[in-house]
Amino acid sequence: MSIDKRRLPLRRRALMPGSQRRDVTRKALLASGALSSLLYVIATDGLAASMWDGYRRTEQMVSELFAVGSPGRDVLLPFTWLYTVLFTAFGVGVWNSVRGNRALRISGGLLTAYGLWNIMGALYPLTLGDNASVPMHILVTNIQLALMVAAMCFVAAGFHGRMRAYSIVSLAASAVMGMVAFMAAPGPNLVLGISERISIGAFLLWVIVLATALWKRPAADRTSQV
């Protein structure tokens, strides 16, 4: 028995570096989510919109920037794949951060699926001046929106306190503004441009807040109240 007691601290010390590496990896994956949100704004309303002479951010859809025929599409094509990688990594980071909490584990899986579904968005973009591209683009977008809504719902269910309240408010803002934008389409008009950006922005900010909330939780307390 005395030999076992002497060996136990050594075994614990041997396990610590591996545990620390896993936590560093987990935090890096979570940081990918925050980075994806920041890069989304920079790439779309920053770079791509500035390359389209006459594009009005307050009146036109973000989807138009990704469309075939858009002057900024060449910038957004590589960004789409980068965003897919970053957001998928974020989903994996959420999954790895919430062991023991079924609702949050489901949300991690849904966020991972949301990230991967961006590939479908790249395969079925809008084509400027071609209405035939609209139905499939709407279908792909609606499936992604369903994944987003489901993920936010499960996060709200899995957390308590401020993070639950914030998730509910963010979901409501994103959903309501998204519906307003849909009804105002195809535009251009102020209601469309502004409401769509509020809808997208609410989700992008929610991703950053969720990444921050999970980042700062101790390894043994990742599912406690926030």
Is 105 a member of any domain? yes
Is 124 a member of any domain? yes
Per residue in 85-127, pLDDT tens? 999 999 999 999 988 899 999 999 999 999 999 999 888 888 9
Is 191 a member of any domain? yes
Is 1 a member of any domain? no
Is 59 a member of any domain? yes
177 vs 164: CA distance, rounded Å = 20
| 138: containing domain | 25-215
The confidence score (pLDDT) of residue 18 equals: 63
Q: Provide CB contacts within 8 A for 212, sequence distance 6+.
A: 34
A 10 A CB-CB count for 50 gives 13
Q: pLDDT grade, residue 137 (50/70/90)?
A: confident
127 beta partners: 68, 130
pTM reported for the whole predicted model: 0.86
77 vs 89: CA distance, rounded Å = 19
114 vs 112: CA distance, rounded Å = 5
- Does the pLDDT of residue 132 top 50, yes or no? yes
Among all chains, which residue has been given the structure tokens 């509020």? 198
Give the total number of structural domains in the chain: 1
Asked if 94 and 214 count as a contact pair (C-beta separation under 8 A), the reply is yes
Is 145 a member of any domain? yes
Asked if 93 and 26 count as a contact pair (C-beta separation under 8 A), the reply is yes
Is 211 a member of any domain? yes
Is 224 a member of any domain? no
- Does the pLDDT of residue 224 top 50, yes or no? no
Q: pLDDT grade, residue 29 (50/70/90)?
A: very high
